[in-house]
Amino acid sequence: MKQPAMYAAHAIAALLLAAAGSASAQSTLNPTSTDSNVPPATAQKQAREIAQGDPARWFHQNPSANASLKRLQKEIGAALQEAQGECRKAPAAERNACLSEARAIYKKDMAGAPARVMADQG
């Protein structure tokens, strides 16, 4: 069975690239996503979800637009949490700017989510 493209990869990449925008931030931020980027509460939630097995949505060829939107919003939210985890590791002087940029990317991605889902449905 073919799995649909995952939207989170784009959102995560965008957040990490934005967080690593300044030269000094690049030395402190890891451009790849790892489990160490995930806050403990989120990691516990992810572990519960993984224990339940592959999500059924991976095996549905054409989910409804509403289901696709909810999934995309969840993935964008997870990308924000990972970016925030990376920002918290940055030096204090850069942390607020990093968090602000992560929130701005989150808002932009969330605002564009409905249009993206409609484009994917068509």
In the chain, where the domains are located: 64-122
Q: How confident is the model at residue 59, as a pLDDT?
A: 76
* Tokens coding 93: 């002087």
Q: How confident is the model at residue 20, as a pLDDT?
A: 45
Alpha-carbon distance of 120 to 8, in angstroms, equals 15
Does pLDDT of 12 surpass 80? no
DSSP state of 2: P
| SS3 labels along the chain | CCCCCCCHHHHHHHHHHHHCCCHHHHHHCCCCCCHHHCCHHHHHHHHHHHHCCCCHHHHCCCCCHHHHHHHHHHHHHHHHHHHHHHHHHCCHHHHHHHHHHHHHHHHHHHHHHHHHHHHHHC
Mean pLDDT of the chain: 76
The model's pTM is: 0.54
Does pLDDT of 98 surpass 70? yes
Mean pLDDT within 79-98: 94
Per-residue model confidence as pLDDT tens digits over 13-58: 454 444 444 333 333 444 456 677 778 888 888 888 888 888 776 7
In the Cβ-directed half-sphere of 34, how many Cα atoms lie within 13 Å?
6
Share of the chain above pLDDT 90, in %: 40
